[in-house]
Amino acid sequence: MNRKMNKLFQSKTFMSVVLTMLVVAASAAVVWGSRQENEVEESPAYAEESQGEMQAAQDESYAREEMEQNNEIAGFAAVGEGQETEEENVAAAGSETSGETVADAEMTDTGEANETAPAEESEAAAANAAPETEGPAEGTDTASESGETAAEGQAEDTEAEGAEAASNLVNPVAELPYTYFNEASTLQWPVEGSVLLDFSMDSTIYFPTLDLYKTNPAVLIQAEPGTPVAAPAEGKVVTVDHNEEIGDFVVIDMGNGYQAKCGQLTEIPVASGDIVEAGTVIGQVAEPTKYYVVEGGNLYFSMTKDGVPIDPLDYIQ
């Protein structure tokens, strides 16, 4: 065995291999060592760079915080300035108001003083004039009696005027040129003729021309066209007008709320405001309107009390 080993060591090839391996091992050791040194040398650089980055981040953060604080401080300062401005405005307004109030008060005092001065002068003048107006007592008594007499005369005139006004209110007929109509008064026929259609407000009656049943607030008195129509009572003409159903018509106010209407007229000689007596001609019978063609020539005659239709035949003699 030893001989074999000695032969191996003596062999050049074997020795070359061993040397080669030693060289490789040494090279590997050198390379490994240099790497360790490089890593040791580079680590502080990396650490310094990381530390620098961290420091920069902290500085930036501090800068941002400082900027925000500065902005907040600036905002508070602006608010404070605004409040100071408002306070200054309020103070200025208060000063102006106070000044105006004081000025008004001074003007009021001045006006009162000015008003008081003439009053005091008037009182002084009256006091100075008093001795001059003194006179005999008899003259004063006479003036007092004259004043009382004039006052009594005025009172009597006032009472007389009041009594006259009351009399006119109680008896207004005295102011009118005709007698007021009442329940006991009577009417005369405005035309002579037969009654074609009766007054009927409680039930319906038949209208030939219209061919229907309805209530009737008037009476239709038969009369030939051209027949004179007389006022049924004395009174005042209040309306002269025209409508489709009864043509031309006249309304007479007879007083006490009584009114008479005559329709289907022509040749009307009276006007609104005229005073008429019973029997005064107020027009002529006209041709019948289209509402009363079948009935023939007629006078439309109606009467109301306070605007409510009543039967005129109840008052005709």
| Same domain membership, residue 309 and residue 213 | yes
Domain boundary (76, 96, 128) is at 128
Cβ neighbours for 277, distance < 8 A, ≥ 6 positions apart: 178, 231, 234
Kindly compute the dihedral angle of the four CA atoms of residues 141, 144, 145, 150, in this order, to the nearest 10 degrees: 160
| Same domain membership, residue 206 and residue 116 | no
| Same domain membership, residue 123 and residue 2 | yes
Beta strands in 99-197 (DSSP E): 195-197
Examine the pLDDT at 282 and tell me if it is beyond 70.
Answer: yes
Domain boundary (128, 154, 186) is at 128
Reading phi first (left if > 0) and then psi (alpha if -120 to 50, else beta), residue 296 is in: left
Backbone angles phi, psi at 22, to 5 degrees: -65, -40
- The secondary structure of residue 185, as a DSSP letter, is -
What predicted TM-score, i.e. pTM, was given to this entire model? 0.47
On whether the CB atoms of residues 309 and 303 are closer than 8 A, the answer is yes
Say how far apart CA 272 and CA 301 lie, in whole Å. 18
Examine the pLDDT at 287 and tell me if it is beyond 90.
Answer: yes
Q: Of 7, 26, 25, 4, whose CA–CA distance to 15 is shortest?
A: 7
Say how far apart CA 13 and CA 229 lie, in whole Å. 177
Weakest mean pLDDT among 44-58, 98-112, 257-271, 278-292: 98-112
Domain boundary (103, 128, 153) is at 128
Structural domains in the chain (count): 2
| Same domain membership, residue 223 and residue 111 | no
Q: What is the pLDDT at residue 132?
A: 42
Q: What is the pLDDT at residue 238?
A: 97
- Which whole-number Å values give the CA distances from 217 to 162, 191, 300, in the listed order? 43, 18, 10
Burial class (CB in 10 A: 0-12, 13-18, 19+), 42: exposed
Q: What is the pLDDT at residue 8?
A: 54
Q: Which of 68-82, 104-118, 240-254 has the highest mean pLDDT?
A: 240-254
Per-residue pLDDT band at 283 (split at 50, 70, 90): very high
pLDDT exceeding 90 applies to what percent of the chain? 42
On whether the CB atoms of residues 159 and 183 are closer than 8 A, the answer is no
Q: Of 216, 209, 255, 211, whose CA–CA distance to 234 is shortest?
A: 255
| Same domain membership, residue 213 and residue 106 | no
Could you read off the pLDDT of 181-211 as tens digits, one per residue?
998 999 999 999 999 999 999 999 999 999 9
Say how far apart CA 58 and CA 54 lie, in whole Å. 6
| Same domain membership, residue 199 and residue 122 | no
Higher pLDDT: 58 or 75? It is: 58
β-strand partners of 305? 258, 308
Range(s) of the domain holding residue 290: 195-314
Could you read off the pLDDT of 43-69 as tens digits, one per residue?
444 445 556 667 666 677 666 766 776
Examine the pLDDT at 302 and tell me if it is beyond 60.
Answer: yes
Could you read off the pLDDT of 134-188 as tens digits, one per residue?
444 444 454 455 555 555 656 566 555 555 544 443 333 334 556 789 989 999 9
Tokens of 269: 């000689």
Query: How far, rounded to the nearest angstrom, does the alpha carbon of residue 11 sit from its chain's CA centroid?
Result: 135
Q: What is the pLDDT at residue 89?
A: 53
Q: What's the mean per-residue pLDDT of the chain?
A: 73
Examine the pLDDT at 113 and tell me if it is beyond 50.
Answer: no
Q: Within 13 A of 309's CA, how many CA atoms are on the CB side?
A: 14
Examine the pLDDT at 266 and tell me if it is beyond 90.
Answer: yes
Q: What is the pLDDT at residue 42?
A: 47
| Same domain membership, residue 118 and residue 233 | no
On whether the CB atoms of residues 240 and 276 are closer than 8 A, the answer is no
Higher pLDDT: 1 or 262? It is: 262
Examine the pLDDT at 25 and tell me if it is beyond 60.
Answer: yes
Per-residue pLDDT band at 19 (split at 50, 70, 90): confident
Backbone angles phi, psi at 271, to 5 degrees: -135, 165
pLDDT exceeding 70 applies to what percent of the chain? 51
| Same domain membership, residue 92 and residue 3 | yes
Q: What is the pLDDT at residue 267?
A: 97
